[in-house]
Structure 1
Amino acid sequence: MLTLLHMLSSIALLVWGTHIVRTGIMRVYGSHLRRLLGQSIRYSPLAFGAGIGVTALVQSSNATALLTISFVAQGLMTLPTALAVMLGADVGTALMARVLTLDLSWLSPLLTLLGVCLFLSRKQSRAGQIGRVLIGLGLIILALQLIVSTATPITEAHGMQVLFSSLAGDTLLAVILGATFALLSYSSLAAVLLTATLAGAGLIGLPVALGVIIGANIGSGVLAWLNASLQSAPARRVALGSLLYKLAGLAVLPFFGPLVEWMGTLGYSAQTQVIGFHLAYNTLRCLALLPTVSLMARLCGYLLPERKAETGIAQPRFLDPAALDTPSLALANAARETLRIGDLVESMLARLQDVLRDERPEAGDEIRRMDDDVDALYSGVKLYLARMPREDLAEQEGRRWAETIELTINLEQAGDIIEHMLGKIQRIKTTQRRSFSPDGLAELNRLHALLSANLRLGLSVFLSSDPQSARQLLEQKRQFRKHERELAHAHVHRLHHRVMESIDTSATHLELIADMKRLNSLFCSPAYAAIEADAASPVGKREESGEDPLPSGASANGAAV
C-alpha cells in the first residue's frame, strides 16, 4: 500500500512539475509566444513550425491550443492556420518528451536549487518567474526518477502483473486508458513520460505502452475540446479539427501487430522505443495531414455552423480566460474591452446631443440600450480582472491593473449620468412641454463638444500613457471648468433679463451643466495615472525639476481643488 502511495505521489509530482513550467513560461514569455503565433498566420508551414516552437517552450500542447483558440475567437487567425499550429503542437510535445527522458538525474538538484534561490529572492520579477520554471523542470526530472524507483517493487506484485497482462491483448482498452490519464493529468506530456518510464521499468509491455501513447494524444484533443466547449463557434472549430486529426491516428491500429514485432527486433530499450514511437508517430501523422488543413477547416465549418443568438446585450469580445496565466496579455485584453466601453459612452453622448436638438426621437431608447451594454461589459471586465492573482503581478502590471479597473468604474458611472441626463431632458420636453432657449441650447452643445473631445483624448491617454498628452488633457479639463463657469454666469444673466425659456428650464439647465462637469472629471482621470507613472519611472525622476507637473487647481487624486 505504501509503495502504491509513493507511485501516486510521484505521478502527482510529475503533473505538478509540468504545470509549473507551463504557467511560468506563459507569465514570462506569454506575450512573445502570442506574437510568434500571430506572425505565422499567412503560411501553413510557418504556422506548423510556430506550433512546434511554442509547445516545446511551454511543454503543453493544451496551452498552445488555448492560445490558438483565443486568436481564432478574436478573428486574428484563420481556421486553416490554427489547425496547422495545432499539428505543430503535437510534434512539439513529442520533442519535449524525448528531451526529458534523457539521463538528466544530475540536473534535477541543480535546477531546483537555482530555481528556489531565484524565486524566493525576486518573486515578483521576471527572474523570479524563470526560477519558477527551473523548479518545475527539476521536479519533472525528480518525479521520473521516483517513478522508476517505486515501479520496481510493483512489478514484482503478482496482482499487478495479471492486471497489466490483461491489457496486452486489448489495444483499444490501452488507448482508452491513455486518453483517461491525459484528461485527469491535464497533460498528454505527463502521460507519455509516465508510460515510457513504466515501460522502461518493465511494469507494462511494449504493445500496451504504444496503445497508451496513442490514447494520450486523443485525450489531449478531448481536453482542448472541453476547454473550448463554452466558446464561440470559430473557437470550437479549432478544437474539433485538432480532435479529428488525433482520431485519424487510429488508422495505425490495423498495422499495430506487425509494427510491435518490427520494433522488438531493433534492440533498443523499452523506454527508448516508446519515446521514439511517440516522436515518429506524431511527426509522420502531422506531416501527412498538414496539406489537408483547408479541407478540415471546411469540414469543421460544416459540422459547427455559426449560430447567431441575439440577446440584445453586448458580450465581451477580448476577455480571453486562457490569457489569465499571462498578466501582460490579460491586462491588454482588459484594456481592449475597456476601450469598447469608452466607445459606447461616446456613442451615448452623441445620441444625447440628438435628444437635445430633437433630431431623432428614438435616440433616447438607444441611450438606455447602450447603458445596459456598458453595464454588461463593465461587469465582464471587473470579474475578469478579479480573477487575476495580484500577488503575481509586477509593479508596473499592478499599476496597469489599477488604472484599468478605475477607468472602467468611471466609464460605468458616466453611462449612468448620461442616462439620468436623458431623463431630465425628456421630462422638460415631453412632460412639462418646455424647451431650452436658443442661447441655452447653444451653450449646452458647446460644452457637449468639449466633453466629447476630452473623452476621446482620455481614452488615448489610457491606451498610450503618454505624459505629454496627459498634461494636455489636464489643461483641457481646466479650460472646460472655465467655460462651465462662464456659461453658468451667462444663464443667470438671461434670468436677470427675464428670458422666458431660460426661466422655465433654469433648474434643468444648471443641473445638466453640473452633470457635464462630473462627466468631464471622470473622462480626464487617466491623465493623473499617466503623470504619476511618468514621475515614478527612471526617466521621469531624471527630468524632475522640483515643480509640480500637475496644473494649478488640480490635486493628485483627480479632483478639482
Structure 2
Amino acid sequence: MLAVVLQLSGGIGLFLLGMTLLTDSLKALAGDSLRQWLARFTGSSFKAMLSGIGFTLVVQSSTATTLATIGFVSAGVLSFSQAIGIIIGANIGTTSTGWLVAFLGLKFSIANIALPLVALGAMLKLLGRDQLALSGLALAGFALLFMGIDQLQVAMAGFAEQVNLSQWSNDGFATRLILILIGLVMTILLQSSSAAVTATLAALASQAIDLPQAMALVIGQNIGTVATAVLAAVGATTSAKRTAAVHVVFNIVTAIFALFVLMPVMLWLFQHTVLADWDHVVMLAAFHTAFSLMGALLFMPFIPQFQQLIIKLIPEKNQNNTRYLDETLFAVPALAISATEQAIRDSLADYYRMIVKALQGQVLAVMMSNRELDRVLTTVEQYLQKMPVPQAQVDQQHLTTLLRLIMYSKVLRDDFQYLEYVDVLPKYLKPEVLQPLIIHLQSMVLGLKQQPMEKMNSVDLIAWQNLVQQLKQQQPQYRQHIVENSVHAQLNAAEALDAMIAERWLERLLEHSIKIAYLLQHQDEVMS
C-alpha cells in the first residue's frame, strides 16, 4: 500500500509540476498581448464569456484568467459585469483539461515519448533565449504533465486492487455528500482543480471508482476551487473580493443544480440511451463540461442583477489610485506592470486636472499639496520591490518603460511642490497663451485617463512644443509687463519676483510634461 501511495503522490507531483511549467511559460510567451486581447474582446457579457473560455484555453489555467480579470476590473479597463462573464467562461475553459486527459493522457498515452520531449525542452531552455527558451519550458511542462497522468493511472490500478470502495457505490444522498466533501478536500490540498479532476479520471479509467462516484467527486472538486480564490482575496482589493464572491456563488449554485438535476439526468441517459456505449472517462469529461455550461445558462441572463447583488454585499471602500496594486497580479507580470502604470497615470491626471481648475479660477493652487503623489510613488516602489522580474522580453521592455515613467514622475513631483505659482500666472499670461495652455493640460488629463490604457494619442506633441516656444518668445514682454506693474506700485518686489519665477516654472513643467507624453505616446519605439 505504501508503494501505491508513493506512486500516487509522485504522479500528482509530476502533473502539478508540468501544469505549472506549462501555464507559466504560456503566460510569459503571450505577455502583454493577452492583456490587450482580453481588454478588446469583451464588449458584451457573451463576448466576455467567450474571451474567458479562449484565455483559459490558451494559458491552461482558470486561476490566471481570474487574476487577469481582477487586474482589469481594478484598473477600470473592464466593467464588473464583463468580469463576471469572463469568470463564467474561465470555468468552462478549464474543463478542457478533462478532455485532454481523457483522449491523450488515458486513451493515447504519450508517456513513451515524454522523456525525449523533456530533454528537447531542456535543451531549448538552456541553449535558446526569450521565446525559444520559454517554448522549451512549455514543452517540458507538457511532457511532465502526461508522465504524471501515466503514473496516476498505474497507481490507481494498484489502489483498486488493495482497497474495496464498493461501500461508497450506493446511491444514498449521504454517500454522495461524503464524496463531494472528499473532492472538495482534494482540490484544497492539491491547490489545483485540474490535478484533482485528473486523479479522478485516472481512478475511473483504472476502475478504482465507478461513474456516479466520479461525478460526485467532480462536483466537490469544482466547489473546492473557490478556496484558492477566497485565500487570494484575503486582505486584497475590493475587486479581488468581488471576484472571489462571484466564484463562490457561481460554483456553489452550479454544484447544487449539478447534484440534483444534471447528475441524475446524465446517469439516466448513460443507462437508457445510446450514451451507454460511451466510455466512462469520456462521459465524465462531458459531465464536467456540462456542469459549467449549465452554470453559464443559469447565470448569464441575470448578470446585471448578480452584479448589483455582489456590489451591494461588497462595496468599494478604497477609492485611492493605489487600489490597483494587488499582489495577486504578480502571477501575470504584464498585469502587475500595467496596474502600476495606471496608478501613476491616474495620479498625474489628478494633478493636471487641479492645475486646470486653478488656471480657470475654480480653486486656489496654494491650497494644493503633493502629498498624494508622494504616497503613490512610495507605494509603487514598495510594490515593485515584491514583484518578480518577468521572463518575457516584451514584459521586461514594458517594465523598463514603467521605470522611466516613475523617474519622470519624480521630476514632476518636484514641480508640483510649487503649485502656488499657478495662482500667479492668469494675471500676466496673455489670453492667446492661457487658453491653449488650458486646452493642452486638459488633453494631458484625457490621455492619462484613456481607457483601455493604450498609447497617449490625445496629446499633440508638436502643439505642446510650439506652446513652450511661444512662452520663451514672450518672456521679454511678460517680464516687461511685470516691471511696469511694479513701477506703478501695483506689485511689490516680492510679488514681481514670484511672477517671474512662475513663468519659468510653467516652462519647466511643460517641458517635463512633454517627456511623459512622448514616453507614453511612443511606447513601442521606446521598448524596441
Which range, TM-score by smaller chain?
Answer: 0.7 to 0.9
Q: Look up the match of 1:23.
A: 24
The aligned residue for residue 42 of structure 1 is: 44
2:402 alignment counterpart: 404
Q: Given residue 391 of structure 2, which amino acid in structure 1 is its aligned partner?
A: D
Cα displacement (A) at 1:146? 2.4
Q: Give 1:100's aligned residue.
A: 101
Q: Does 1:136 align with 2:141?
A: yes
Structure 1: distance between partners of 2:64 and 2:125: 23
Q: Deviations over 1:158-195 (max 9, x none)?
A: xxx26x56655633222112112223333211111112
Q: For 1:94-173, what aligned pairs fall within 5 Å after superposition?
A: 94-101=95-102, 102=104, 103=108, 104-124=110-130, 126-151=131-156, 161=163, 170-173=175-178
Q: Which residue of 1 aligns with 2:493?
A: 503
User: Structure 1 residues 254, 89: closer, same or farther in 2, change over 3 A?
Assistant: closer
After superposition, what is the alpha-carbon deviation per residue over 1:393-450, rounded to whole angstroms, capped at 9, x for unaligned?
Answer: 41x543432332332343355345434443x899xxxxxxxxx7xx994059998778
Match of 1:276 in 2: 283
**2:455, 2:209 → 1: CA distance?**
58
Contact 1:24–1:129 under 8 Å retained in 2: yes
1:548 corresponds to = none
Structure 2 residues not aligned, in runs of 5+: none
Q: Which residue is equivalent to 1:442?
A: 428
Post-superposition CA distance 1:328-364 (Å, at most 9, x none): 444444333332122112123234446xxxx456654
Partner of 2:185: 180
Q: Against the structure 1 CA distance between its residues 507 and 211, is the aligned structure 2 distance closer, same or farther, given a 3 Å change threshold?
A: same
Question: Size of the alignment, in residue pairs?
Answer: 506
Q: Find the residue that maps to 1:525 and give its secondary structure.
A: helix
2:509 to 496, 501, 519: 519
Are the structure 2 counterparts of residues 256 and 48 from structure 1 closer, same or farther at C-alpha, using a change threshold of 3 Å?
same
Q: Quick one: which amino acid aligns to residue 215 of structure 1? A: G
Instruction: Return the letter of the residue paired with 1:525.
Output: K
| 1:340 to 1:444, Cα distance in 2 relative to 1, 3 A | farther
TM-aligned CA distance change 1:30 to 1:421, over 3 Å? closer
Amino acid in the other structure paired with 2:259: L
Q: Which has the higher contact order (CA 8 A, sep 6+)?
A: 2
Could you state the TM-score of these two structures normalised by the residue count of structure 1? 0.72
Deviations 1:23-46 (A, max 9, x none): 2222333655552574254363x5
Aligned residues of 1:82 and 1:238 also touching (Cα < 8 A): no
Secondary structure at the aligned position of 2:428 is classed as: helix
The one-letter code matched in structure 1 to 2:406 is T
Cα distance in 2 between the residues matched to 1:176 and 1:377: 44
Contact 2:356–2:442 (CA under 8 A) maintained in structure 1: no
User: Mind listing any 5+ residue stretches in structure 1 that lack a counterpart?
Assistant: 427-435, 538-561
TM-score scaled by length of structure 2? 0.76
User: Who wins on radius of gyration, i.e. which is larger?
Assistant: 1
SS of the residue 1:524 aligns to: helix
2:117 is matched by which residue type in structure 1?
Answer: L
**Are the aligned partners of 1:335 and 1:463 in contact in 2 as well (CA < 8 Å)?**
no
Cα distance, 1:197 vs structure 2: 1.6
Cα pair distance change 1:134/1:483, threshold 3 Å: farther
Kept in 2: contact 1:52–1:88 (CA 8 A): yes
| 1:309 to 1:154, Cα distance in 2 relative to 1, 3 A | closer
- Percent of pairs identical after alignment? 19
For the residue of structure 2 that corresponds to 1:505, the secondary structure is helix
In the TM superposition, what is the alpha-carbon distance from 1:128 to its structure 2 partner?
Answer: 3.0
- Aligned-residue RMSD, C-alpha: 4.6
- Name the amino acid aligned to 2:67: L
Q: Which amino acid aligns with 1:522?
A: H
Instruction: Find the counterpart in structure 2 of residue 242 from structure 1.
Output: 250
Structure 1 equivalent of residue 9 of structure 2: 8
Does structure 2 retain, via aligned residues, the 8 Å contact 1:451–1:520? no
| Kept after mapping to 2: 8 A contact 1:421/1:512 | no
- 1:373-452 equivalence runs, <5 A: 373-394=372-393, 397-415=395-413, 417-422=415-420, 441-443=427-429
